[in-house]
Structure 1
Amino acid sequence: MADKQKTYDFPQDLREAQLELHQAQAALAALYKRLPWSVAPLPGWTHTKENGHFHETERADSPGWNDEEQAEVDTLRARQLDLSTRVVTHDYWTTCDDAPNARAALKHLQDADAPAPQEQQEQGAT
């Protein structure tokens, strides 16, 4: 339990890379939600229990992704890979005696830096 209370002295460039990684992951997730469900054009379907399917599912036709959407996905994936590599291979990890717990703490660092929802409301009211 004490490990959750422990703080780590992460270098600023590592903190920034982790923050950028979170931002790239969030941007990619938001992009995936906007894009059609299939990269290539595919017909939709309707599966019903009456037709012997366990779950009822339905998908509209997918027009696929256009070149601009594919390029945006490729750019964000490359950015995510670059940032992941920078975080994982940072020199800090060779000096850290508790790397697994420190890595977990770094992943949640922005949670500690972000104001709580109550604080956000109070800041917006001022």
Structure 2
Amino acid sequence: MAETYEFPSDLLAGQEELHQVRAELSALLKRLPWSVEPADGFSEDQGWRRVARPASPGWTADEQAEVEKLRRREHELAVFVSTHRFWAEVAAADRVAARTELKHARERPAAEEAVEE
């Protein structure tokens, strides 16, 4: 069985917020027009697949600001999580496994409860 790490609460909170920010950014980008700047639609039948996009009104200043804010926060959190002092306590050979466990730590309680029942 894989080792289970006792992650510090601030590292767990940072990873959870990173998951949330990435989900929020992904959802926002899916709702926004395909082009940041206004652009004409196009359709291309050349190549191995057809590519088509409708005309894009572009993003508003508020939408651009929201994307920038989320990207900035995502970067801050990614740096916080990846450079946290906890990683110095984990053997270099075990860091990939520990980082993977951290990414899935929010899934652990549900999985453990299912096993206990």
Per the TM superposition, whether the score is higher than 0.5 is yes
Unpaired segments ≥5 residues, structure 2: none
Q: Which residue of 2 aligns with 1:80?
A: 74
Deviation at 1:84, TM superposition (A): 0.6
What is the total number of aligned residue pairs between the two structures?
Answer: 110
Deviation at 1:6, TM superposition (A): 1.7
Unpaired segments ≥5 residues, structure 1: 120-126
Q: Which residue of 2 aligns with 1:102?
A: 98
Q: Which residue of 2 aligns with 1:66?
A: 60
Task: Normalising by structure 2, report the TM-score.
Answer: 0.87
Q: Distance in 1 between matches of 2:30 and 2:50?
A: 21
Q: Distance in 1 between matches of 2:12 and 2:100?
A: 13
From 24, 27, 32, give the equivalent of 1:27.
24
From 29, 35, 39, give the equivalent of 2:36.
39
Q: Distance in 2 between matches of 1:112 and 1:59?
A: 41
Q: Distance in 1 between matches of 2:65 and 2:50?
A: 34
Q: Which residue of 2 aligns with 1:9?
A: 6
What percent identity do the matched residue pairs reach? 45
Q: Which residue of 2 aligns with 1:90?
A: 84
Q: In angstroms, what is the RMSD of aligned CA positions? A: 1.5
Which letter does structure 1 place at the counterpart of 2:43?
A: T
* Secondary structure of residue in 2 paired with 1:81: helix
Q: Distance in 2 between matches of 1:94 and 1:26?
A: 28
Which letter does structure 1 place at the counterpart of 2:38?
A: P
Which letter does structure 1 place at the counterpart of 2:101?
A: A
